[in-house]
Amino acid sequence: MENTEHGNVWPGSAYPLGATYDGNGTNFALFSEAAERVELCLFDDHGTETRLELTEVDAFVWHGFLPQVQPGQRYGYRVHGPYDPSNGERANPNKLLLDPYAKATTGHIEWHPSLFSYDFNDPTQRNDEDSAPHAMLGVVINPFFDWAGDRHPRTAYPDTFVYEAHVKGLTELNPAIPEDLRGTYGGIAHPATIEHLQKLGVTALELMPVHQFVHDDTLEQKGLSNYWGYNTIGFFAPHNDYAGNGDLGQQVQEFKAMVRELHTAGIEVILDVVYNHTAEGNHLGPTLSMRGIDNKAYYRLVDDDQQHYMDYTGTGNSLNAGNPHSLQLIMDSLRYWVTEMHVDGFRFDLASTLAREFYDVDKLSTFFELVQQDPVVSQVKLIAEPWDVGPGGYQVGNFPPQWTEWNGKYRDTVRDFWRGEPSTLGEFAARVTGSADLYEHSGRRPVASINFVTAHDGFTLRDLVSYNEKHNDANGENNNDGESHNRSYNLGVEGPTDDPAILELRSRQQRNIIATLLLSQGVPMLLHGDELGRTQQGNNNVYAQDSELSWVHWDDADLSLVEFVAAVARLRKEHPTFRRSRFFDGRPVRRGEGEPLSDIVWLSPEGDAMVPEDWDTPLGRAVGMFLNGQGIRGKDARGERISDRNFIVFFNANDEPVDFVLPSEEFSPSWEVVVDTAGIAVSVEPRHAESTLHILPRSTVVLRAWVEPAPDLDTAVAASLQVLTNSNAANSLSAKTEAE
């Protein structure tokens, strides 16, 4: 049943867009240049629809104020206008449309032919079946919330440690979280989750998409779902499935409460956002929102064939970041999440798509100009996934100065080095020192590099050292989906094994990668569950697996690995040597009466400074990295010069042990071993200059300059010693005996 009378609609305002409750009523505003008429559709608890025509129009914004409308009201729009797909026009008032500015949603898309504007049997024919019974509705929210003095932590980039996580995947199986909170924003806010993040030293939680998204029809038919969430339909609304309370609009309150609790713990919240495309897909996709509101404004169409969409994302469409109204949508959304939801930054999925002003990727595009001048958005953390699937889309190192980037070259190089690929030594050195070759030319600093080895897309850390090939059969695509070139190495057996030598080596490789990640210059990012030894059984593309295959199994955690990650993270936190704000420059640094030493010196196994021919050795897989604690060119918050102890990090990716000679006394008379991923060299006894250190195959050893009299071991060192002594003593002893 529907009511077509206008009711009591006041003129209202064209700004802000969306549904805005002010305590007296709600203002509705919708942009559509394509519209000839716009109807606001209100739904009661029984699904009865009342249509109210919005007659006020300013600058193509249709608006009205309803004093009787309160928070919790369900609503949508019907847009009347031309329908001519060949010319990019797709208005159809029989399709109920979700407000692009809806701040909350209710229900789900129920796949039905009425959601499509064409006849399945004859796509040239228009389908006028009403889609309302199967559509998702917007919800008017109560914007008021007690933030209790909440403030953004504003952690400096050099001090940042990012943890990428999925709201449901991280919490669904955690027995320390009450069942009704698992898989929700409340589960993330629970003390069990926060205490774990604090133990690891995490300073920023990067959540995979939480904007309202849609589960694809093709996946649902297979009994799967769009688990990852890269299929956005609402850029302002927190995804409703992650709310524990089913009350209308409650997801907003729960999301805000989550942010507040994380901030109280000193943890920033970064959102993985998908502004490059929407869930409406290609020309054969459904009409759910923007397609029916103003197709030409919101989407990039093929210039000489406007029935079809430009697809730089591999999902069927690309948002039209060259249109001022699409840009406004993106910027309004970003600003809303910072000012109203208190988030601390964004990771932009396939960010190169947003940089396509016309065809080519352009870092000077309008989008970047808007971000640069925006007083709110420009001040939060901005992380680019610097590629898309279009021509010239791989743009690592090419984003504007205020941006940081997922460093795909770091990922590839670290994987190659530790699996023993030849001729990787030089690039490995460049990556662990902050990738100056990628970022210094644009005036950026080491923190421009978001260093990662694993992320949601690909193998987990444990699977990276356990599988040579992907095993994606559960996805129902005959193992054809997902990346085939994973740069992984199973160390002798594909998948699970009972061989203790292989298991010990796999554990060591995980520690190698963690140590490399946390002690590299730049900003480290850890994938959720990698510290627990999480496996996806070789599946490197669990985008559709909302199941135990993708969830974190807390009851099967590798507790020694958790302790190791926490220990190395503390070492990084306590020593600015590993958190430099400037690139190494190789200039000598005078140290009192001693001879000056460079801020960084690369050491051969013989204890000498590396020479060019050492780097060119194809089978060179072992190197030492001396870090001069007096060479940190910068000042702290009090204006005092930053200094630290000297460190050496020895990397041995060989299949054989390597005897490293410690450098001469000018570097330090003695050294203490603070981390050894094989658990052999760790000792409280000093190692003297020019003595030999026996380092096992595929292992990392970190030494710190000894200070007389010997200080008590700090927290990080003590924890590291304890972890490695307890977890590796037996395996390490047998490995040492075998090596000797």
Let me know: does 461 contact 527? Beta carbons within 8 Å. yes
Amino acid (one-letter) located at 278:
T
Let me know: does 436 contact 394? Beta carbons within 8 Å. no
Three-state SS sequence of 122-140: CCCCECCCCCHHHCCEEEC
Angle between helices 559-574 and 715-739 (to 10 degrees): 120
3-state secondary structure of 39: strand
DSSP 8-state class, residue 299: B
DSSP 8-state class, residue 270: E
Q: Tokens at residue 110, please?
A: 């129920």
**Whole-angstrom distance, CA of residue 86 vs CA of residue 118:** 13
Q: Which of 114, 31, 28 is nearest to 290 (CA)?
A: 31
Q: Tokens at residue 500, please?
A: 């203790």
Question: Which residue, chain included where needed, has tokens 């949601």?
Answer: 456
Residue 460 CA to its chain's centroid (Å): 14
On the CB side of 707, CA atoms within 13 Å amount to: 9
Q: Tokens at residue 463, please?
A: 């699977």
Let me know: does 71 contact 140? Beta carbons within 8 Å. yes
Q: Is 592 exposed, middle or buried (0-12, 13-18, 19+ CB in 10 A)?
A: exposed
Cα distances (Å, whole numbers) of residue 569 to 50, 71, 401, 514, 674:
57, 45, 27, 9, 13
**Whole-angstrom distance, CA of residue 515 vs CA of residue 74:** 51
**Whole-angstrom distance, CA of residue 263 vs CA of residue 204:** 10
Catalytic residue, chosen from 261, 385, 427, 644, is 385
Residues near 373 by Cβ (< 8 Å), separated by ≥ 6?
none
Let me know: does 707 contact 629? Beta carbons within 8 Å. no
On the CB side of 516, CA atoms within 13 Å amount to: 33
Q: Which of 100, 293, 291, 96 is nearest to 212 (CA)?
A: 100
Helix, strand, coil % in the chain, rounded to nearest 5: 30, 20, 50
Residue 121 CA to its chain's centroid (Å): 41
**Whole-angstrom distance, CA of residue 554 vs CA of residue 187:** 14
Cα distances (Å, whole numbers) of residue 648 to 110, 302, 584, 607, 672:
59, 56, 15, 11, 10
3-state secondary structure of 427: helix
Let me know: does 738 contact 696? Beta carbons within 8 Å. no
Active site residue 385: yes
3-state secondary structure of 450: strand
Catalytic residue, chosen from 280, 349, 531, 644, is 349
Residues near 578 by Cβ (< 8 Å), separated by ≥ 6?
518, 519, 520, 521, 571, 572, 627, 647
Active site residue 357: no
Residues near 519 by Cβ (< 8 Å), separated by ≥ 6?
432, 568, 571, 572, 578, 649, 702
Amino acid (one-letter) located at 719:
A
Integer-rounded Cα radius of gyration of the chain: 28
Let me know: does 517 contact 452? Beta carbons within 8 Å. yes
Q: Which of 707, 699, 726 is nearest to 669 (CA)?
A: 707
- What are the beta bridge partners of residue 622? 652
Amino acid (one-letter) located at 107:
G
Q: Which residues form the catalytic set?
A: 349, 385
